[in-house]
Chain A
Amino acid sequence: MAADKIQDSSRSVGVVTPQVARFAAPLSLRCGAALRDYELVYETYGTLNSDRSNAVLVCHALNASHHVAGHYANDPASTGWWDNMIGPGKPLDTRRFFVIGVNNIGGCHGSTGPLSTNPDTGRIWGGDFPVITVEDWVDAQARLADHLGIQQFAAVMGGSLGAMQALAWSARYPQRLRHSVVIACAPNLSAQNIAFNEVARQAIITDPDFNEGNYRAQNTAPKRGLRVARMVGHITYLSDDEMANKFGRQLKNGKPGYSFEPEFQIESYLRHQGNKFADYFDANTYLRITKALDYFDPAFDYGGDLAKALQPVIAGMLVVSFTTDWRFSPERSREIVHALIKNRAPVTYAEIDAPHGHDAFLLDDARYHRLVAAYFERVHGEIPS
Chain B
Amino acid sequence: MNGPRGTQRPDFAAIANWIPQGARVLDLGCGDGTLLKYLQQTRRVNGYGVEIDDGNVLECVKNGVHVIQSDLERGLADFDDGSFDFVVLSQTLQAMRNTERIVREMLRVGRAGIVTFPNFGYWKNRLHVLRGHMPISANLPFEWFNTPNIHLCTVDDFEKFCSQRGINIVARTVLTGGRPATVLPNLLGELAVYQFGG
Contacts and interface: CB of A to CB of B under 8 A. Distances in A.
Tell whether A pairs with B. Answer: yes
Interface of A: 334, 337-338, 341-342, 344, 346-353, 367, 370-371, 374-375, 377-378
A334 B74 CA distance: 13
B58 A338 contact: no
B80 A342 contact: yes
A379 B168 CA distance: 42
B79 A351 contact: no
B48 A341 contact: yes
Contacts of A378: 61-62, 64
A148 to B, nearest CB: 29
Given A349-B68, A378-B64, A367 B78 contact: no
17 contacts: A337-B78, A341-B78, A341-B79, A341-B80, A342-B80, A348-B67, A349-B67, A349-B68, A349-B69, A349-B70, A350-B57, A350-B69, A351-B69, A353-B54, A371-B61, A374-B58, A378-B61
B66 interface: yes
Interface residues of B, number: 20
B176 interface: no
B46 interface: yes
A342 B46 CA distance: 13
**Which applies to chain B's interface (DSSP): helix, strand, loop or mixed?**
mixed
A346 B78 contact: no
Contacts of A350: 54, 57, 61, 67, 69
Given A344-B46, A349-B69, A370 B58 contact: yes
B60 interface: yes
Interface of B: 24, 46, 48, 54, 57-58, 60-62, 64, 66-70, 77-80, 83
Tell which of B46, B62, B68, B70 has the most Cβ of chain A within 10 Å. Answer: B68
Nearest to B49: A348
Contacts of A375: 61
Contacts of A367: 54, 58
Given A342-B80, A347-B48, 9 more contacts: A338-B78, A341-B78, A346-B66, A347-B66, A348-B68, A349-B68, A349-B70, A353-B54, A371-B58
A348 B78 contact: no
Contacts of A374: 58, 61-62
A348 B66 CA distance: 5
Nearest to B67: A348
A347 B78 CA distance: 12
Contacts of B83: 341-342
Nearest to B24: A344
A349 B78 CA distance: 11
Contact of B68 (A337, A352, A353, A370): A337
A40 B78 CA distance: 39
A9 B69 CA distance: 34
A342 B79 CA distance: 7
Contacts of A371: 57-58, 61
A351 B62 CA distance: 17
A380 to B, nearest CB: 12
Contacts of A348: 60-61, 66-68
Tell which of A341, A342, A377 has the most Cβ of chain B within 10 Å. Answer: A341
Contacts of B69: 349-351
Contacts of A351: 69-70
A334 B75 CA distance: 14
Contacts of A349: 67-70
Nearest to A375: B61
Contacts of A347: 48, 66, 68
Nearest to A342: B80
Nearest to B46: A344
Contacts of B57: 350, 371
Contacts of A377: 62
Contact of A334 (B61, B64, B78): B78
A351 B79 CA distance: 17
